[in-house]
Amino acid sequence: MDTPVSPTVACIGGGQLGRMLGLAALPLGIRMEFVDPVVGAPAGEIGPLHIGELDERGVIRPLLERATVVTYEWEGVPADIVSWIEEQRRPPVYPPAAALRASQDRLYEKTLFRQLDVGTPDFLPVDSFADLEDAVAVLGAPAVLKTRRGGYDGKGQHVLRVPADAPVAWAALGGVPLILEAFVPFDRELSVLAVRGRDGSTECWPVVENHHSEGMLRRSNAPAPGLTPELQAAAVAIATRMLDELLYVGVLAIELFDVGGRLLANEMAPRVHNSGHWTIEGAVTSQFENHVRAILGWPLGSTETRGVSTMLNCIGVMPAPADILAVPGAHLHDYGKTPRHARKLGHVTVVADDADTLHDRVDRVLAVLPADG
């Protein structure tokens, strides 16, 4: 019998998501290597870090020779490099370039959702000030003007409270392709994470509830409080339609608005996602482990929960480890990044058997979690 060769996963991007993928891969005997332009990027402590632009063929080409499979950990990775790797045919790269491309343009993304019968906020493309005036006339106000490409963490957006805000919004964002969306008076923000294997098998974690401020995710509650089987089924249906349409392999996250129990899709991320960090301790199989299992063609692990969880991001400043670890059920993750205002430096996941205990533990963690300076 041949000795099985331990697989190597090449990951484009070496941020905290790459680092957590690498941490999940290690016990499975998988080596990971990373490409990132930043010396000292967080994943470099886990596996070899090759410094280069994320689409630098000279850096990526040698990796293709030893990698079993290629993946990426950021939706800003140039889609052309993923297409180029797909064209090489070996090794495979997942998720597919088509998913990355769709996620990089809000107009394509929302059009794809609609084509698959997934509800979205109403939207219109805007390429000129006249388009914006026409779109406001159709969609009304309030509305959200967004850049089609490149926006993240709430950047590249402007809310029009009234139609007369159009010139200010145009002055702020005009000049690049835009999209105007009707403002959705949602009850809460949710996300669904799903994973699809190379054989088409699919698993979904329970829908989680997300709290943002200043455009950044602060907290995820898993499962979303009051999650009904109907809501979970609706989210699973959305995720499954997207995964199957895109012949997707790996973890996909879809951000949703809950409007009176109806789900509208806001955006998708073709990668492991911040709102899935709770799965490391709060689920039987984490999003990171299932992503590597999926891309290697291995069986997927159960996405069932282990109790109830809350994930709190550490933004701008890290807490003292001992303060967090003094709280039962609290797990600290430090990404090893230099502190900077509005930067995600780590997270804390708090796990408990029941909602009341979780609540008490989260309060204790919040009391020692420093505010961003």
Nearer CB in complex with ligand AMP: 203/255: 255
Q: Which residue is it, tokens 């941490």? A: 23
Taking alpha carbons only, the member of 229, 186, 179 closest to residue 207 is 229
Nearer CB in complex with ligand AMP: 32/217: 217
Q: How far is the CB of 179 from ligand AMP (least distance, A)?
A: 10
Q: How far is the CB of 152 from ligand AMP (least distance, A)?
A: 7
Q: How far is the CB of 236 from ligand AMP (least distance, A)?
A: 21
**E strand segments, the chain:** 8-12, 31-36, 49-51, 69-72, 123-126, 143-147, 157-160, 178-182, 188-196, 202-204, 208-213, 216-222, 250-259, 262-269, 308-315, 330-334, 344-352
Taking alpha carbons only, the member of 197, 25, 6, 18 closest to residue 95 is 197
Nearer CB in complex with ligand AMP: 221/266: 266
* 97-128: burial string, b at 16+ Cβ within 10 Å, e else: bbbbbbbbbbbebbebbeebebbbbbbbebee
Q: How far is the CB of 257 from ligand AMP (least distance, A)?
A: 7
CA dist 180 to 159, 210, 350, Å? 9, 23, 38
Q: Checking DSSP bridges between strand 31-36 and strand 49-51, what pairing results, if any?
A: parallel
Q: How far is the CB of 261 from ligand AMP (least distance, A)?
A: 17
Nearer CB in complex with ligand AMP: 142/301: 142
Nearer CB in complex with ligand AMP: 68/266: 266
Q: How far is the CB of 18 from ligand AMP (least distance, A)?
A: 22
Nearer CB in complex with ligand AMP: 48/151: 151
Please tell me the chain's helix, strand, coil percentages from 3-state DSSP, rounded to the nearest 5.
35, 30, 40
Q: How far is the CB of 76 from ligand AMP (least distance, A)?
A: 13
Strand order in the sheet with 178-182: 123-126, 178-182, 143-147, 157-160
Rounded CA separation 299/301 (Å): 7
* 50-89: burial string, b at 16+ Cβ within 10 Å, e else: bbbebbeeebbeebbeebbbbbbbbbebebebbebbeeee
Nearer CB in complex with ligand AMP: 28/137: 137
Nearer CB in complex with ligand AMP: 150/321: 150
Q: How far is the CB of 154 from ligand AMP (least distance, A)?
A: 5
Residue 217 carries which DSSP code?
Answer: E
Taking alpha carbons only, the member of 339, 272, 273, 351 closest to residue 311 is 351
Please give the residue ranges that form the binding site for ligand AMP (CB under 6 A). Answer: 121, 144, 151, 154, 181, 183-184, 189, 212, 215, 255, 266-267
Nearer CB in complex with ligand AMP: 16/210: 210
CA dist 351 to 20, 280, 324, Å? 19, 10, 13
Q: How far is the CB of 144 from ligand AMP (least distance, A)?
A: 5
